[in-house]
Amino acid sequence: MAAKGMTRMLILGGTGETGSWFARYFRDKSFDVAVWGPSGKTGVAASIGVRYAADMIKEAEQSDIVLLSVPIEKTVEVIRKVAPRMRPGSLLMDVTSLKSEPMKAMIRHAHQGVEVIGTHPMFGPTMPTLMGQIIILTPAVGRSETWLPRIRSLFESDGARIELLDPEEHDEIMAVVQALTHFAYIGIGATLQSLDFDVEKSRKFMSPVYEIMIDFVGRILDQNPELYASIQKNPKAMKVRQTFIGECMRLSEKADSGDLEGFKKIMREAAEHFGQTHDALERSDRLIDRRIKERGLERHP
């Protein structure tokens, strides 16, 4: 039983990496946290120091907050099971990287008295704190007035920057910010594999720009493939991927045919649309300078 005055929270998928991160976070905020996972990893709950919810539905009925941290393809299914059993005055949240479908499902299946806030933390479970991190919230209009200021204040008190978005706009932006970025990096990694290119050998000759890029490719490839594949299921991402591939083909055709003027024209037009390219150059120069200094320290400890 939760101590009097403690907020009782159930995290579905709380035995996974992201769910465990939030379990520890809310535990440290003196919430009475219970976690549930489809694999039944009670040892994860014990290691975090929170309760394991053997009965997901019963725990949801007694919780003040239910937070979903399950795979994207399972989110709506879990919402259908849990949302109707939540009590009035409680809060239903999710931390998936898509918002349109989960928000529709939460609003549809939760009783009118249950508040709904979509949540998208723009950071991974390796981050130690919320300081400087962005969290996107997509609150349900007319169904988030009590909990939204409390959740927002909690995250902001730890240094997070909160952005409010409409679910549709969120998915449109994430189709580029996440889906396109990951797709491009994974595509580079797959190209290196297809070419049987010796990445480690190339580090002897790399410029700082190449080194930073190749580390970001490695960073993405080190992540959970299930999560990164599910991000590509964003319904807005197909058009973005197809546009990207089309532009790559257009650039390739210019280069292959020796049409350097055409290649330069594409680059100039992209720069004009991008805007503030010099500011980007200066910011990246600072990043490169730091990497050069780090490299010097590595060689001369």
Cα Rg for the chain, rounded, in angstroms? 23
Asked whether the predicted pLDDT for residue 39 surpasses 90, the reply is no
Sequence ranges of the domains in the chain: 8-165, 170-299
| Residue 67 main-chain phi, psi, to 5 deg | -115, 125
With cut-offs at 50, 70 and 90, classify the pLDDT of residue 196.
very high
* Two tokens, residue 7: 């907020």
Query: Does residue 1 surpass a pLDDT of 50?
Result: no
Q: CA angle at residue 138 from 75 to 92, to 5 degrees?
A: 50
For residues 147 and 6, give the distance between their C-alpha atoms in angstroms, rounded to a whole number.
Answer: 15
Q: Is the pLDDT assigned to residue 3 strictly greater than 80?
A: no
Least confident of 18-27, 35-44, 173-182: 35-44
More confident residue, 175 or 125: 175
What pLDDT digit, counting tens, does each position of 218-231 carry? 999 999 898 899 99
Strand partners, 153: none
153-168 per-position pLDDT tens digit: 999 999 999 999 999 9
Distance of CA 78 to the CA centre of its chain: 19
137 has pLDDT over 60: yes
Closest CA to 236 of 166, 178, 162: 178
* pLDDT for position 227: 86
CATH code of the domain made up of 8-165: 3.40.50.720
Calculate mean pLDDT across residues 278-295.
88
Tally of residues, the chain: 301
Alpha carbon separation from 139 to 98, 133, 165, 177 (Å, rounded): 14, 19, 8, 21
Q: Could you read off the pLDDT of 238-262 as tens digits, one per residue?
A: 999 999 999 999 999 999 999 999 9
Q: Rounded to an integer, what distance in angstroms lies between the CA atom of residue 18 and that of residue 37?
A: 12
Percent of the chain with pLDDT over 70: 97
Average pLDDT for residues 121-137, to the nearest whole number?
94
The rounded distance, in Å, linking the Cα atoms of 167 and 147 is 18
Q: How far apart are CA 90 and CA 34, in angstroms?
A: 15
Cβ-proximal residues to 17 (8 Å cutoff; 6+ apart), any chain: 124, 125, 224
How does strand 134-139 pair with strand 115-121?
antiparallel
Averaged confidence pLDDT in the chain: 94
